[in-house]
Copies of this chain bind each other. A is one copy, B any other.
Amino acid sequence: VPAPATVHLRIGELAERAGTTPRTVRYYEEIGLLDGGRDRDPGRHRTYTEADLDRLRELLRLKELLGLSLEELKEIVAAEDARAALRAEWHAAPPPRRRRQILGEALDHIERQLALLARRREQVAALEAELADRRARIEERLAEEGGV
C-alpha cells in the first residue's frame, strides 16, 4: 500500500477550516470554479486535500478583500492553471531564453494582483484618515469641555 500523499478532508471540515459552508463549496464546484472530490461516483462523499484547502482559502480571500465576482475568480484560477503548466515546463529544463520568459510571465501575474491590492489598501487607508480626522476634532472638543 502506498503511503497517502496528503490527509483527506471531507466537505464539512474543508469548509469550516476555510471559513465558509459546504453549500458554498458545492456551488463553486457546480459552476466549475473548484473540481470537488476528483473521480467521485455520484452520491459518494467528496474528499479534499490540504492543497485544495489552501486554494479555497486564497480564492475566498481575493473575493472578500477585492470584491471579485466568481467569474473573475475563474479567470484567476485559469491563470494559475496556466502558471502550473509553465512550472511543469520549467522542470523539463527549457532553454535559458524560455526560462526567463516563464519567470517574466509569473512576475506579471503577481504584479497585477499586487496593484489591485495596493489600490484597495489605499482606499481603506483614505477612509481611515477621514475618520481619524473627525475623531481628532471630537477629542479636541472633549478636551475643551473637560478643561472648563
Stretch at the interface among A11-19, A74-82, A138-146: A138-146
A96 within 8 A of B: yes
A60 → chain B closest CB, angstroms: 11
Q: Encode A124-148 as 1/0 by CB contact (under 8 A) with B.
A: 1101100110110011011001101
Stretch at the interface among A2-10, A34-42, A113-121: A113-121
A23 within 8 A of B: no
Q: Are A121 and B128 in contact (CB under 8 A)?
A: yes
A residues in contact (CB < 8 Å) with B:
61-62, 64-65, 67, 96, 99-100, 103-104, 106-107, 110-111, 113-114, 117-118, 120-121, 123-125, 127-128, 131-132, 134-135, 138-139, 141-142, 145-146, 148
Q: Supply 19 A–B pairs (Cβ within 8 Å), ascending by A.
A: A61-B123, A62-B127, A64-B123, A65-B120, A65-B127, A67-B67, A100-B146, A103-B141, A104-B142, A107-B135, A107-B142, A110-B131, A114-B128, A114-B131, A114-B135, A118-B128, A121-B121, A121-B124, A124-B124
